């Protein structure tokens, strides 16, 4: 049986990004469990503001959509910016309109984490990630993590805070467990027949 495939999206454009580090911690745990992980992080997410009237697809956008299309599970990691997810990640998610006719993230598990100084703002950002995941028809796993912005990571991406590590581990394990039991439709099941574009935003 082929390995579970995970698309890990997020991080910020800042060197030393905590959300990127947390994403890499989850990616490493998923790989250790045998998953194939494609990380699309930081500058790799820089895309023009999504324009519904533009049909041109850049190589970067094509790579993003290909990673999502292949994935059984998706990991989203964002800094908290003014109580929500970053514009960088939201814009990248807007570009998943390119997957509308395939049902967006239908059938995929989605694990979300937000980084924040303020836990209330972090909870809002986490909620915005989970809302987008669900709007894209993904299955947000029960665990969500707000990573304190002051969390430290070693150069080889070990999180030095055991409590945060434990939460990131649970998040990753739930993502993988769901993906294993509900493999996404690269081989579409009858109930996942592509929806006509006109009904795709239901
Ligand atoms: C534009 C901007 C807005 C921010 N808004 C919030 C906020 O509303 N609440 C909060 O707790 N932290 C906020 N922060 C702090 C970031 O969430 C925090 O620095 C985080 O570590 C950034 O993620 P990164 O390390 O991946 O770049 C903001 C930072 C920036 C640059």
Domain boundaries, the chain: 5-199
Give the ligand 1 atom nearest the CA of 122: 11
Cα(102) to centroid of ligand 1, in Å? 33
Question: Residue 1: which pLDDT band, with cuts at 50, 70 and 90?
Answer: confident
Specify the pairing of strand 73-79 against strand 36-41: unpaired
Beta bridge partners of 6: 37, 73
**82 CB less than 6 Å from ligand 1?**
yes
**Is 90 exceeded by the pLDDT of residue 198?**
no
Q: Tens digits of per-residue pLDDT, 26-60?
A: 999 999 999 999 999 999 999 999 999 998 889 99
Specify the pairing of strand 73-79 against strand 5-10: parallel
Phi and psi dihedrals of 9, rounded to 5?
-115, 140
Test site for ligand 1: of 13, 88, 117, most ligand atoms within 8 A of the Cβ: 117
Segment 166-195 shows an average pLDDT of: 77
Who has greater pLDDT, 170 or 198? 170
Task: Give the right CATH number for 5-199 from 3.90.930.12, 3.40.50.360, 3.50.50.60, 3.20.20.100.
Answer: 3.40.50.360
Segment 96-106 shows an average pLDDT of: 96
Contact 78, 86 (CB under 8 A): yes
In our burial notation (b when 16+ CB lie closer than 10 A, e otherwise), range 146-183 reads: bbbeebebeeeeebeeeebbebbbebbbbbbebbbeeb
Question: Residue 183: which pLDDT band, with cuts at 50, 70 and 90?
Answer: confident
Segment 116-142 shows an average pLDDT of: 98
Cα(9) to centroid of ligand 1, in Å? 17
d(CA 60, CA 171): 27
pTM: 0.92
Residue of 67, 83, 156 whose CA lies nearest to 125: 83
Task: Check residue 199 and give its pLDDT.
Answer: 47
Task: Check residue 151 and give its pLDDT.
Answer: 98
């Amino acid at each position: 049986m082929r390995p579970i495939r995970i698309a890990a999206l997020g991080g910020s454009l800042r060197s030393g990004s905590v959300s990127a580090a947390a994403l890499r911690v989850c990616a490493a745990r998923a790989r250790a469990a045998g998953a194939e992980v494609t990380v699309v992080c930081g500058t790799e997410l820089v895309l023009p503001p999504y324009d519904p009237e533009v049909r041109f697809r850049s190589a970067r956008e094509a790579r993003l959509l290909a990673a999502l299309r292949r994935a059984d599970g998706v990991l989203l990691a964002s800094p908290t910016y003014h109580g929500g997810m970053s514009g960088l990640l939201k814009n990248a998610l807007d570009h998943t309109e390119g997957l509308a006719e395939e049902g967006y993230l239908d059938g995929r598990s989605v694990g979300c984490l937000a980084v924040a100084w303020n836990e209330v703002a972090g909870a809002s950002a986490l909620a915005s990630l989970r809302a987008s995941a669900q709007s894209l028809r993904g299955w947000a796993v029960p665990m969500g993590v707000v990573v304190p912005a002051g969390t430290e990571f070693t150069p080889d991406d070990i999180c030095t805070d055991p409590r945060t590590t434990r939460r990131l581990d649970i998040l990753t394990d739930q993502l993988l467990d769901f993906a294993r039991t509900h493999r996404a439709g690269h081989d579409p099941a009858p109930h996942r027949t592509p929806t006509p574009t006109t009904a795709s935003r239901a």
